[in-house]
Chain A
Amino acid sequence: MSKITREQVEYVAGLAQLELDDAAKARLQQEMGEILSYMDKLNELDTSNVEPMMHAMEMTNVFREDCAGESLAREAALRDAPQQDGEYFIVPKILDTEGGA
């Protein structure tokens, strides 16, 4: 029995906007279950005295100064877009009024 259900695979695929066939779903259910089992193995370690690692890098406070510099020329910015009108990137009509931020 995998630790992951087929529904969970479908849910995660949905969030990632992936269309999976049955074979892929079965394979992912197996693989994702194995990853979680491995996490269980890590959980066997006593980490109560270990400071949590918040970030993979040891560096902190890498900043740039607040100076406005050059931007791309618009032609260059739009050049490789699948569709554009010289001003905007063109996408299929957005009906949904709710943005993310």
Chain B
Amino acid sequence: MEYEAVIGMEVHVEINTHSKIFCACSTAFNAPANTNVCPICLGMPGVLPVLNREMVNKSVAAGLALNCTISRWSKMDRKNYFYPDMAKNYQISQYDLPLCYKGRLDIEVDGQVKSIGITRAHMEEDTARNTHTLGGGISGVDFNRSGVPLLEIVTEPDLRSAQDAYAYLTTLKQILQYLDVSDCNMEEGSLRAEANISVHPKGSKEFGTKTEVKNVASFSGVAKAIEFEIARQIEVLESGGKISQETRGWDANRGITFSQRSKESAHDYRYFPEPDLMPIVVDEAWEQRIRKSLPELPLAKKRRFKEQYGLSDYDATVLTSTRAMADYLEAAVQAGADAKKAANWIMGDLQALLTDAKQEIQECKVPPAGLAEMIQLIESGTISGKIGKDVLVEMFASGKGPKAIVEEKGLVQITDEGALVAIVRKVLADNPQQVEQFKAGKDRVIGFLVGQVMKASRGKANPEKVNEILRKELSA
């Protein structure tokens, strides 16, 4: 039988405010345990939490970018449960009136655009972290994460495959990073993804029983876990078994999901309005203010790059993959670089240097104007393209400007006819065998001879001129 999978995603992103959602403690990552804590985020009785305004601003921005409706009127609720990561025995979240709802996000899979429904995006506080490495039948609790602001983004069950889920996650991350509302760093826990997965016979209108896969450390891990889970569920059904509704973890080493059945506590959270926090009213004026402040989003930027700069779809996709990279290209163009040439240098040599140095483009020592200047040195014939590569390496390492490097190292291209003829004649005299071969009709030997001239000039000869002079000398 053929099966179809139905997948919904729940993504928690940490909103990158300076302070926590309800108190002034820092949200800095990696602080020593229990140093960014106060009575509010420790869950002491009698404290008064107050909502961080920036959390609302950033959450609304995210909601608008996800084409959500913004609630005119929303509120915080208490979600009640007992767990050692939650000292006050409830998490402050949003229940029936989330800040953002009914949105959609367009994703591209194999060149096809799919619209993924966003059910809701709501604000909540993160919980504490437990450590199980202390041994001896005990666990430690660190409240630094407690009260860190989270936006939980829930999709409709619109995803059908692991590739869909992967595309959704990367698109979502890209947009949130463009908006500068979250770092979306999975290693630091600022983005966590859970997938609800079920399968049913193709054509059947009824969905199967779903499982929830949690605690996956990377986007590719999520995709692999979904792929595994779909296959596992089909196998269970094919062999006449039943899927049990449960939470499953992902074992990246063994490449399998496994049951994480918790104690049989029903998930009955008995939500009720948080009486300590006042309702949130985002009026038309506030929403418009945020809408106007939204940056150009990746898809719009990509389209503009294709139109304005004549870039290919592939190049435009790569160059808008992060806002920093897109900004870099535009700054180089503003500084006078040809867009296509700048694009090639950024995606080629510069990207290779960045990858080697494990750097992001915004950290690199070559300013966009420096790249533009280097490209102009090539265009004006001052240096050859090959020397340009060496100059860029030097710029990347030292942060010096291209002109200074060219002067310092004497890299100015030799275009003087007389000087080139002298080098060519010497190369021809040194390589009589190749000259014979050329004269015998082996035309491709010319490549070797050009190479020898370039080497003799330490890369400074103008290769086109060299080719021209070589042919003239050889036919003489």
With both beta carbons as reference points, the residue of chain A lying nearest to B96 in the complex is identified as: A54
State the interface size on chain B (CB cutoff 8 A): 70
Contact B150 A78 (CB under 8 A): no
- Chain B residues contacting A42 (CB-CB under 8 Å) are none
In chain A between 10 and 64, which residues have their CB closer than 8 angstroms to a CB of chain B? 15, 17, 54-57, 59-64
- Chain A residues contacting B38 (CB-CB under 8 Å) are 71-72, 77
Report the Cα distance A91→B85, complex, angstroms.
Answer: 10
Contact B75 A68 (CB under 8 A): no
Check if A94 is an interface residue, CB within 8 A of chain B.
yes
Task: Please report the number of residue pairs spanning A and B whose Cβ atoms sit closer than 8 angstroms.
Answer: 163
In chain B between 259 and 286, which residues have their CB closer than 8 angstroms to a CB of chain A? 260, 262-263, 265-266, 268, 270, 273, 275, 277-281
Closest chain-B Cβ to A73's Cβ sits at a distance in Å of 8
Q: Which of B16-24, B290-298, B348-356, B358-366 contacts A (4 or more CB under 8 A)?
A: B16-24
With both beta carbons as reference points, the residue of chain B lying nearest to A97 in the complex is identified as: B260
Check if A67 is an interface residue, CB within 8 A of chain B.
yes
Contact (A91, B138) CB under 8 Å given A70-B24, A100-B91: yes
Check if B330 is an interface residue, CB within 8 A of chain A.
no
The digit string for B244-255, where 1 denotes a CB below 8 A from any CB of A, is 000101000000
The digit string for B15-51, where 1 denotes a CB below 8 A from any CB of A, is 0011100001111100011111111001000000011
Contact A55 B278 (CB under 8 A): yes
In chain B between 95 and 141, which residues have their CB closer than 8 angstroms to a CB of chain A? 97, 124, 126-127, 130-132, 134, 137-141
- Chain B residues contacting A90 (CB-CB under 8 Å) are 134, 138-141
- Chain B residues contacting A97 (CB-CB under 8 Å) are 215, 249, 260, 262
Task: From A17, A77, A99, A101, give the contact of B37 (CB < 8 A).
Answer: A77
Task: From A57, A71, A93, give the contact of B132 (CB < 8 A).
Answer: A93
State the interface size on chain A (CB cutoff 8 A): 39
Contact A74 B32 (CB under 8 A): yes
Contact (A67, B140) CB under 8 Å given A57-B275, A57-B278: no
Contact A88 B131 (CB under 8 A): yes
Check if A7 is an interface residue, CB within 8 A of chain B.
no
- Chain B residues contacting A88 (CB-CB under 8 Å) are 33-34, 131, 134, 140-142
- Chain A residues contacting B142 (CB-CB under 8 Å) are 87-89
Contact (A99, B85) CB under 8 Å given A54-B273, A64-B51, A64-B53: yes
Contact B51 A68 (CB under 8 A): no
Contact B132 A77 (CB under 8 A): no
Check if B328 is an interface residue, CB within 8 A of chain A.
no
With both beta carbons as reference points, the residue of chain A lying nearest to B52 in the complex is identified as: A66
Check if B56 is an interface residue, CB within 8 A of chain A.
yes
With both beta carbons as reference points, the residue of chain A lying nearest to B20 in the complex is identified as: A68
Check if B81 is an interface residue, CB within 8 A of chain A.
yes
With both beta carbons as reference points, the residue of chain B lying nearest to A90 in the complex is identified as: B138
Check if B168 is an interface residue, CB within 8 A of chain A.
no
- Chain A residues contacting B35 (CB-CB under 8 Å) are 71, 74
- Chain A residues contacting B25 (CB-CB under 8 Å) are 68-69, 71
Check if B323 is an interface residue, CB within 8 A of chain A.
no
- Chain B residues contacting A94 (CB-CB under 8 Å) are 84, 130, 132, 139
Check if B207 is an interface residue, CB within 8 A of chain A.
no
Contact B18 A63 (CB under 8 A): no
Report the Cα distance A54→B91, complex, angstroms.
Answer: 19
| A-B pairs with beta carbons under 8 Å apart, 7 shown | A54-B75, A57-B279, A61-B278, A65-B52, A74-B37, A89-B140, A101-B124
Residues on A lying within 8 angstroms of B by beta carbon are 15, 17, 54-57, 59-72, 74, 77-78, 83, 85, 87-94, 96-101
